[in-house]
Structure 1
């Protein structure tokens, strides 16, 4: 039995957040429109076989009521074309390591959180919005904290890239993959984050994805 897919409004209400869907600022438009999200390596841990549970809530796996270990994280934004128009019906795929820095992948030999889904996907709504509930990824040698993603938007080239955290800039600048990017490209793949405290602290991240 699969968990029900979370709507954007349902997810944000459940987490009690009110993150503004601002995304691309007026200044960005004044400079000639949004920066196309740069392509980055898929890496070796894209799932060879997708899990049975592939919804947009990675904090629980299957019918288990036990949550994944780690800081709760919500990532949301829009998928846009180069003119800034929202793209409905785009498939967004998310995958990243668990809090121990281990990917749920054939041959993984590290400590694995069996309650973490590891991979999820969803379709953007009529306004191009996507949202995922997950945990902040752990780290492993040589890489900053990051999230892998793919976007398959009708009429556009498939995109494979990675997201980084604005709170981890020192580590980002030591990451060879991030360091290769121009300043504009770095901004295009760096989540704008805020934190909420309460009974269960959480992080909210926002990033619009622009496809060519």
Structure 2
């Protein structure tokens, strides 16, 4: 006797189908992000070999990450601290100067070195700086970044540390996350598991109904 296939109720099936389609779409999107990230890494590697440029004064996205740049800090308006490492690999507190570069315009962020003491107060007052472009501190959450498409602020990591500080470690290409393939596989697995669970649930439902129908 050939067992009949489980009947698919309309509304639950539509809901599950939409969920599975969304998971597959997210997997495909992650594969697209993987290709974009790989292209970005190639671009960053090329930036590391280019000559120094003037630090961009307007938000430009990630185009100039890992490139050498120069800037002039006319006046330090304030300081930020962020955990980090020096070029010896030692952990500490990065000292980030908020600099004025002209009469108007955005604040320039310059990482002038790492202190081991979190209470350290830098005495650096500004001047010409050369260093490597990287992202500045960003207080937005990952979810917030999805809905806020403004480019991240950029910062200059100084080649020479301010007095009393150790030079901050340069940005490393290996620190750029590229786990989109793993995320894509996860979404595809979630979609497959959801489909299998739904079919098994329907089969169990039909099996449970069978004795009642025969009574």
Question: What TM-score do you get using the length of structure 2 for normalisation?
Answer: 0.24
- Higher helix share goes to which structure? 2
TM-score (normalizing by structure 1): 0.25
Return the index of the structure with the highest Cα Rg: 2
